[in-house]
Amino acid sequence: MDYGKLFERAFGYITEKYPCSDHETAFRNVTERAGNMKTKKIKNKKSVVIAVSAAAAAAMTVSAGAALNWDFNTAFGELFSRRNDGLPDTQVARFTEGADESAEMRFETAKNTYTAYGFDYEKYGKELDLTFDCDGFTVDYKGMMGEGRVMYLLFDVIFDEDTDYAPKEGYTDWEPVIEYDTTDGVGREMDNKLLSVDGNRYSYYGLLIGAENMEGKDLTVKGYGLNRRRRYNPTESERYFENLNCDFYAEIQIDTENEVPRRTIGINEPLTAYDLCPVGDGSYGFKPVETVLYDITISPFTCSGNIETYGRVFEKADAYSFGSFVFTFSDGTALTETNVYSEDSFFFEFDRPVEPDDIVSVTIGEKTIMLK
Amino acid sequence: MTADELERSMRKYYKCVYSMALCYCKNPSDADDIAQDVFFKLFTYDGSFESDEQLKAWLLKCAVNRSINILKSSWHRLSRPLDEAENVSSPDSCDDGGGTLFRLISKLGKNNRTALYLYYYESFSINEIARITGASETAVRSRLARGRRQLKKLIESERNGYYGLREII
């Protein structure tokens, strides 16, 4: 079979039937957009190198930590604890198969007995000490940590005393607007969460999940300001948005001198998945289907793998569900990822960091796979 | 980059970036938006390229990244069902075979489809595809093998009942 000719025929036909914009229109759109952007000057732009390697990171962290008087390991430990509300309870998804080939998903409460206690965050990051002065507030990028596909940024927003920053009934908390971008990619919006409030100091963490491995890349973190919005539809005299605009850009080089510990385990075993599909009178249910799990890759912060789906077409953001992934560690503790959805590959971020070599098995749905 | 250089690059590569985005997201409007985003990125990019091949690889890498962003955005997930009529993988009564092939290629998973497209349509090496998609070379080899196997099965299941396809394969 000549795949080259086959693709030529398919894409020749489809780009003729659905042609792209003509070059003149596309060129005009791009240059006009660039012209608008160039009128905006970036004043706040600072650079730093962050090492996800063990030895270099630790050395730099000690000196920076002493100057800033905050503890890197404690702060990132609190990040994972607070974003899970410090609760050990989790939920395990279970499927019950019925007589008509459909299945129902229900959740059972379980314990996340694995705590990540003693995890050495300093191995994977660095304090940043980048402060940006804005009109009405200051932004302090405190530290960054992570690996490859996922990075975590701790930062504070310190409001000036004369800024009207206090929580307002009917409005959300202040939400920083931040994008991130590697030099050879296109920007993505950073997912921010408020961790704590201490007077005029709001502490956040940002989650950066890369479309690709960010190791060895120059990462630009682009802050545009703070927003808060009404939780319900405002009347005509009320404002929907409140903004505090300011540019705070950081260029962060993610250095990799040592390898992040990753384990890739070849599995090649059949695995039951559950396909969300129409059942009877217009309602939807899960239908069990057979797949093959090819492999699993575990790193300190993420898990990924590849699945054979036998040509299943995934439209409208539908996917297979595999239920929960329960990881068991060598000391008998367990960590659950509640519900994993996938097309032909899956990727998720752990609720708390792990040492990949400590994991002895993973239970996916009802199937347990030994990893040692 | 000057406006003249941008125009030259757009003349040469706009359709190629559009096709890559169309392969990934299967929607012409999204693909056009993605292509314009990519060239906007190029126009504002401070770096330089040693060769046209390097520039093309960079553009396609941006197209893949931007496609991932678009498909993952909540706006896209909410609005997509309204745009079903625009989905290019729907069956087409005027199809001469190319449309059926595209529909079958669309049935492959995004990662396998992208690897096959870059390898067979754009003639990139496995190493280059790994750099464009952010996957390891092993993963690219595995995606190519899996994608070929799946596509062969899909084509074989249709070829007997479809004259246009019999003519091509």
Residue A333 has pLDDT above 70, yes or no: yes
Beta carbons of B7 and A311 less than 8 Å apart: no
User: Measured between CB atoms, does B88 come within 8 Å of chain A?
Assistant: yes
Higher pLDDT, A234 or A21: A21
Q: With contact defined as beta carbons under 8 Å apart, do A150 and A350 qualify?
A: no
> To probe the interface with A, which of B41, B70, B73, B137 has the most A CB atoms within 10 Å?
B41
* B124, closest residue in chain A (CA to CA): A4
Distance spanning both ends of chain A, measured CA to CA = 41
Of B31, B112, B120, the CB nearest to A7: B120
Q: What predicted TM-score, i.e. pTM, was given to this entire model?
A: 0.64
Nearest to B134 among A18, A211, A308 (CB): A211
Q: A1, A8, A13, A214: best mutation site toward chain B, by most B Cβ within 10 Å?
A: A13
pLDDT at residue A79 tops 90: no
Question: So what's the pLDDT on residue A185?
Answer: 52
Count of C-beta atoms within a 10 Å radius of residue A129: 15
Surface-to-core class of residue A370, CB atoms within 10 Å of its CB (0-12 exposed, 13-18 middle, 19+ buried): exposed
Strands A137-147 vs A125-133: parallel, antiparallel or unpaired: antiparallel
CB-based contacts of A108: which residues, under 8 Å, 6+ apart?
A: A91, A92, A94
Angle at B28 between CA B23 and CA B30, to 5 degrees: 90
Average pLDDT of the segment spanning A103-125: 84
CB atoms within 10 A of CB A356: 18
Residue type, A370: M
Tell me, what's the pLDDT at A150?
A: 87
DSSP A230: B
Please tell me the predicted confidence (pLDDT) of residue A36. Answer: 59
CA A102 – CA A366 distance, rounded (Å): 17
Cβ-Cβ pairs closer than 8 A, A with B, add up to: 158
Predicted pLDDT at A282: 58
What's chain B's length in residues? 169
Sign of CA dihedral B32, A315, B128, A356: positive
> What's the complex ipTM?
0.81
Alpha helices by DSSP H, listed for chain A, are 3-17, 23-38, 54-68, 72-83
- List, for residues B11-23, the tens digit of each pLDDT value: 999 999 999 998 8
Strand partners, A131: A140
Cα nearest neighbour of B95 on chain A = A13
Sign of the CA dihedral B31, B34, B38, B40? Answer: positive
> pLDDT exceeding 90 applies to what percent of chain A?
16
Q: Is the Cβ pair A3, B28 closer than 8 Å? A: no
H-run or E-run covering A148 = none
More confident residue, A312 or A168: A168
pLDDT at B89: 52
pLDDT of A330 reads 92
Q: Does B48 touch chain A (CB under 8 A)?
A: no
Tens digit of each residue's pLDDT (9 = 90 or more) over B50-64? 888 888 988 988 888
Lowest mean pLDDT among A34-43, A310-319, B114-123, B146-155: A34-43
Does residue B4 or residue A148 have the better pLDDT?
A: B4
Q: CA dihedral defined by A83, A86, A88, A92, rounded to 10 degrees? A: -20
Please classify residue A282 by burial: count the beta carbons closer than 10 Å to its beta carbon, then call 0-12 exposed, 13-18 middle and 19+ buried.
exposed
Of A226-230, A286-290, A310-314, A341-345, the one with minimum mean pLDDT is: A310-314
Report the run of H or E that residue A149 belongs to, with start and end. Answer: none
* pLDDT of the residue at A192: 84
> DSSP letters of B70-137?
HHHSHHHHHHGGGGGGG-TTS--TT--SHHHHHHHHHTS-HHHHHHHIIIIIS---HHHHHHHHT--H
Predicted confidence (pLDDT) per residue in A268-301, tens digit: 999 988 887 666 665 667 888 899 999 999 999 9
**Cβ separation of B7 and A317 shorter than 8 Å?**
no
Q: What is the pLDDT of residue A362?
A: 94
Q: pLDDT of A153-172, one tens digit each?
A: 999 999 999 888 888 888 88
Residue A347 CB-density burial (10 A; 0-12 exposed, 13-18 middle, 19+ buried): middle
Q: Do A31 and B133 touch (CB under 8 A)?
A: no
pLDDT at position B132 is: 82
Number of Cβ atoms within 10 Å of the Cβ of B67 = 27
Tell me how close the Cα of A3 comes to any Cα of chain B, in angstroms: 6
* Mean pLDDT across chain A: 79
